[in-house]
Structure 1
Amino acid sequence: MSAQLDQREGQCHCGGVRFRATLSEGLDTVRRCTCSYCRMRGAVVVSAETGGVEILQGADLLTRYRFNTSVAQHFFCSRCGIYTHHQRRSNPDQYGVNVACLDGLSPFDFAEVPVVDGVNHPNDTGGSSRLAGMLRFVPAR
């Protein structure tokens, strides 16, 4: 394993689901997406490889949602409704992990978050992943 691997624990809002994520490249994979589901969900995510998300508690509370091609699997707590992670469509060998669920982290810890073009998904266009823009957080003074 790479020296850059980073293990973090996290949970849903009610604490019913607890998990450990081994992040592929630490927080360097932070991103958002413009696809219809991600726009509505609004989560900032980081990447973990397959097997890199271990459910420590509450596996029975996790509910899975699939749409469109049904390749991506989005997991959320059936009690509080919080999205914890998803298996990616563009790379089913990776998970996106909700930064807001990771202990001690917040989406507002990132001054800039790259936003990938999920409307023109690489699996639909035959191209590569494209940057749609940057999301910036500027704290009030």
Structure 2
Amino acid sequence: MTLTVDDRGWTPASCHCGAVRFRVRLAEGLDSARRCDCSLCRMRGAVAVSASLDDIEILAGAGTLAEYRFNTGVARHFFCSHCGIYTHHQRRSNPGQYGVNAACLEDVSPFDFAEVPVNDGRNHPSDGGGGGMIGVLRFESIRD
């Protein structure tokens, strides 16, 4: 899988309808891809990749972004108020980092990842839980 990156390391991204456009520099490229089994992540089903807070820039639609917080209210989850697509979130486990929806990145699909580690969000480390990886989500295409 190839990630579109410009000469300064930025990858273009957007929500489904294009109202929110942004660019991001990924801390570890696509190698940071992961899922989580907390209640919100289970329902949204996104693969997230990592970026530092300084490495995401909203180019259009900042006013279109809506924010959702739950449970402790620490993590900040952003989504397009028009199409509903989750774009990124400020992590509870590392507030200096964003998780970015890999499907929002130009030319990236969650089905490009053969395996995605799944972290234990039900037993969050900030709550004294073990956290860490609890499994792997696999995608195997039946097409050539």
1:50 is matched with 53
Letter in 1 for 2:37: T
Partner of 1:38: helix, strand, or coil? helix
In 1, are the aligned partners of 2:123 and 2:129 still within 8 Å (CA)? no
After superposition, residues 1-141 of structure 1 pair within 5 angstroms as 6-125=9-128, 127=130, 129-141=131-143
Instruction: Please list every run of 5 or more consecutive structure 2 residues that lacks an aligned counterpart in the other structure.
Output: 1-7
With structure 2 as the length reference, what TM-score do the two structures score?
A: 0.91
Structure 1 residues 134 and 126: alpha-carbon distance in aligned structure 2, compared to 1, 3 A threshold: closer
Q: Which has the higher strand share?
A: 1
Q: Percent of aligned pairs with the same residue? A: 66
Partner of 1:118: helix, strand, or coil? coil
Residue 31 of structure 1 and its aligned partner are, at CA, apart by 0.1
With structure 1 as the length reference, what TM-score do the two structures score?
A: 0.93
After superposing on structure 2, the runs of 4+ consecutive aligned residues of structure 1 that deviate more than 3 Å are: none
CA distance in 2, matches of 1:40, 1:33: 10
CA distance in 2, matches of 1:64, 1:9: 21
CA distance in 2, matches of 1:7, 1:108: 22
The CA deviation string for residues 14-70 of structure 1, in whole angstroms up to 9 with x for no partner, is: 000000011001111000000001000100010000111100000010000000111
CA distance in 2, matches of 1:9, 1:95: 16
Partner of 1:51: helix, strand, or coil? helix
In 2, are the aligned partners of 1:6 and 1:26 still within 8 Å (CA)? no
In 2, are the aligned partners of 1:6 and 1:25 still within 8 Å (CA)? no
Letter in 2 for 1:54: E
Letter in 1 for 2:71: N
In 2, are the aligned partners of 1:114 and 1:131 still within 8 Å (CA)? yes
In 2, are the aligned partners of 1:17 and 1:62 still within 8 Å (CA)? yes
